[in-house]
Amino acid sequence: MIETVVRKRIEILTDTALLGRVTDAVDKVGITGWTVVPVSSGKGRDGRWREERVMGTDKVFVLTIASQDKAQALAEELAPVLTKYGFILSMWDVEVIRGERF
């Protein structure tokens, strides 16, 4: 049977324009990689948004898988930006194969 290990999967919703800040933080805490998934619309306290890509105010998800320690470090690193820009960060445990790479 394939061996799996437990890691954290972290998901951050950010403005596309601020993607660089999030991925810099991921790199800084030493996580090996990340993946960006497009988002098409949403609603929050500021109301509904959609098709804002033309206006450059749209959002993306940044997904990354990391050890518990690095995940915690990333959360600490991003906390000020999260509050300032109203990003959303959530994380949970996942089983991964080839765990040594994360």
Partner 1 sequence: MDAATLQTFTSPVVLFFVLGLLAAFARSDLAIPEAIAKGMSLYLMAAIGLKGGVAVSKSGIDSTVLIALVLGIAASFLMPFFANFVLKVFGKLGRINAGAVAAHYGSVSVVTFVTAVEILEAQNKPPGGYMVAVMAAMETPAILTGLLLARGMGSKDGQKTSELLHEVFFNASVVLLLGAFAIGIIAGAEGFGEVAPFFEAGFKGVLCLFLLDMGLIAARRIMDARAITWRLVVIAIGLPLINGTIGTAAAVACGLDVGSSAALGVLCASASYIAVPAAMRLALPEADPGIYLTMSLSITFPFNILINIGLMSMLASALTGVGGATP
Ligand X SMILES: Nc1ncnc2c1ncn2[C@@H]1O[C@H](COP(=O)(O)O)[C@@H](O)[C@H]1O
β-strands 59-66, 88-96 pairing: unpaired
Q: Which of 28, 30, 69, 79 binds a second copy (CB under 8 A)?
A: 79
Angle between helices 68-85 and 19-28 (to 10 degrees): 150
One symbol per residue from 1 to 30: x for binding a second copy (CB under 8 A), - otherwise; what is it? Answer: xx-x--x-x-x-x---------x---x---
52's CB contacts (< 8 A; 6+ apart) are: 58
44 binding ligand X? (CB under 6 A): yes
Among the listed ranges 14-22, 38-46, 68-76, 92-100, the one in contact with ligand X (CB under 6 A) is: 38-46
43 binding ligand X? (CB under 6 A): yes
Give φ, ψ of 10 to 5 degrees: -115, 140
